[in-house]
Amino acid sequence: MSGSELNLSVNIGQKLPLKNPVMTASGTCGYGAEVARFYEPARLGALVLKGISLTPWPGNPCPRITETACGMINSIGLQNVGLKAFIKEKLPVAKALGSPIIANILGGSAGEYVKIARALEEAGVDGIELNVSCPNVKKGGIAFGLDLKSFTKLIKAVRKDISGPAIIVKLSPGAQPIEAFARAAQEEGADAVSLINTVPAMAIDADSRRPLIRNIVGGLSGPAIKPIALWLVYKTSKAVTIPVIGIGGIRTGRDAIEFILAGASAVQVGTASFVDPAAPVRVLEGIEGYMREKGIKDISALVGGLVTGCS
């Protein structure tokens, strides 16, 4: 069986059919063009680009990253070129890469989210991922991700105005309980939820007595958080019927399969791309290899296929 005989296609709602379930995670592939020297972006299901805000943001002072046991903490502070430059300079280049483009957006208010989303719809993106879970910006973002009321309002507002691109809501691992947020997203018409964003975390240098991240708190990502993400994806996928996109520590095809068995329809590869820039493609190839090995022709046969009873 060659890769092409396998059916890896998945649908993120009715709006966004993907040829395979592997995407980049926001903030780990730049604006897309940066990865083209390492692999053909068109091979992936979609590219999720670095988060965008209404106006350019400078980001946080350094150190912005530090390594922890099997993981890393980042506090980039959503450094980005801003909506205008994104649409003018970055988006055309990204679109030319041949992969569906999902923009990741963050606003300080529901109105800001709507404004950005509208402009992106007009500019022609395939999907919009609402980042309501970034631990690295003071206002907006995670404020929506942890409060069910403003969360619900936000999605309602965005949904009302956007009809073209698929709307994906990126959940925070701190949302309590996460099922309620996922259900609210579904009820307000989101096409999918993605999770998890990074987990708030901190590291300290005992010698200097200083935090190893200038901003004190940052977001933990990488293999260390995979077991946490897997559980939240499992719980969430039981609670909703819209597709769940699994994120967190995915590095190999087997990691992706684990998320898919737990209930994810698709996955995003983040931190692993820092270690190996072609990681998303290796994950895809790993999934194909697993399917061939097990004689599975259609990836949909695996979604939520966790076996939990007694045998």
Partner 1 sequence: MPMPGQFFMVGLPGRLDPLLKRPFGLFRHEDGLLSFMYRVRGKGTLIMSGLVPGDTVEILGPLGNHYPLPEGKYRIRKPLLVAGGTGVASLLPLLRELKKNSIFVYGGRNRDELLCIDEVRGLAGEFIAATQDGSEGVRGTAVDVVTDLIRGRDKDGFLLYACGPAGMLKSLQGLGLQGYCAMEENMACGTGVCLGCAVKTSTGYKRACTEGPVFDINEVVFERF
Ligand X SMILES: Cc1cc2nc3c(=O)[nH]c(=O)nc-3n(C[C@H](O)[C@H](O)[C@H](O)COP(=O)(O)O)c2cc1C
Retrieve residue 37's tokens.
């020297």
Retrieve residue 51's tokens.
């988060």
26 binds, among partner 1, a copy of itself, ligand X, none (CB under 5 to 8 A by kind): ligand X
277 binds, among a copy of itself, ligand X, partner 1, none (CB under 5 to 8 A by kind): partner 1
Contact of 53 with 77, CB cutoff 8 Å: no
- The rounded Cα 24 to chain-centroid distance in angstroms is 7
Geometric angle at alpha carbon 205, from 79 and 227, rounded to 5°: 70
Contact of 75 with 57, CB cutoff 8 Å: no
Determine the Cα–Cα distance for residues 230 and 248; give it in Å rounded to an integer.
Answer: 8
- Give the residue, chosen from 74, 172, 237, 265, that forms a contact with ligand X under the rule CB under 6 A: 74
Stretch that binds ligand X, among 13-21, 115-123, 200-208, 220-228 (CB under 6 A): 220-228
Question: Is residue 225 packed enough to be buried (19+ CB in 10 Å), middle (13-18) or exposed (0-12)?
Answer: buried
Nearest to 6 by CA among 19, 15, 16: 19
Determine the Cα–Cα distance for residues 258 and 270; give it in Å rounded to an integer.
Answer: 16
102 binds, among partner 1, ligand X, a copy of itself, none (CB under 5 to 8 A by kind): none
Nearest to 230 by CA among 241, 212, 244: 244
Determine the Cα–Cα distance for residues 273 and 22; give it in Å rounded to an integer.
Answer: 13
Establish whether 134 is a catalytic residue. yes
Q: Does 60 bind ligand X (CB under 6 A)?
A: no
Nearer to partner 1, 79 or 300 (CB): 79
* Residue from 29, 62, 70, 134 carrying the catalytic annotation: 134
Q: Does 68 bind a copy of itself (CB under 8 A)?
A: yes
- The site map against partner 1 for 257-286 (x = CB under 8 A) is --------------x-xxx-x---------
Nearer to a copy of itself, 163 or 311 (CB): 311
Number of residues lying near a copy of itself (CB under 8 A):
45
Geometric angle at alpha carbon 13, from 122 and 83, rounded to 5°: 30
Q: Determine if residue 27 is left, alpha or beta; phi over 0 gives left, psi from -120 to 50 gives alpha, anything else beta.
A: left
- Give the residue, chosen from 41, 165, 222, 263, that forms a contact with ligand X under the rule CB under 6 A: 222
Question: Which of helix, strand or coil describes residue 144?
Answer: helix
Q: Does 25 bind ligand X (CB under 6 A)?
A: yes
Give me the residues paired with residue 221 across strands.
Answer: 72
Nearer to a copy of itself, 160 or 210 (CB): 210
- Give the residue, chosen from 21, 27, 100, 246, that forms a contact with ligand X under the rule CB under 6 A: 27
| Positions 206 through 245 that interact with partner 1 (CB under 8 A) | 210, 214, 222-223
Nearer to partner 1, 71 or 253 (CB): 71
- The site map against partner 1 for 8-27 (x = CB under 8 A) is -------------------x
Dihedrals phi, psi of 279, to nearest 5 degrees: -50, -45
Contact of 31 with 86, CB cutoff 8 Å: yes
Rounded least distance, CB 50 to ligand X, Å? 5
Nearest to 52 by CA among 75, 26, 28, 83: 83
Chain positions contacting partner 1, by CB under 8 A: 27-30, 34-35, 38, 50, 58-59, 61-67, 69-72, 74, 76, 79, 210, 214, 222-223, 251, 271, 273-275, 277, 309-311
Chain positions contacting ligand X, by CB under 6 A: 25-28, 50-51, 74, 76, 78, 104, 131, 134, 170, 197-198, 221-222, 225, 247-250, 269-272
- Which positions are catalytic? 134
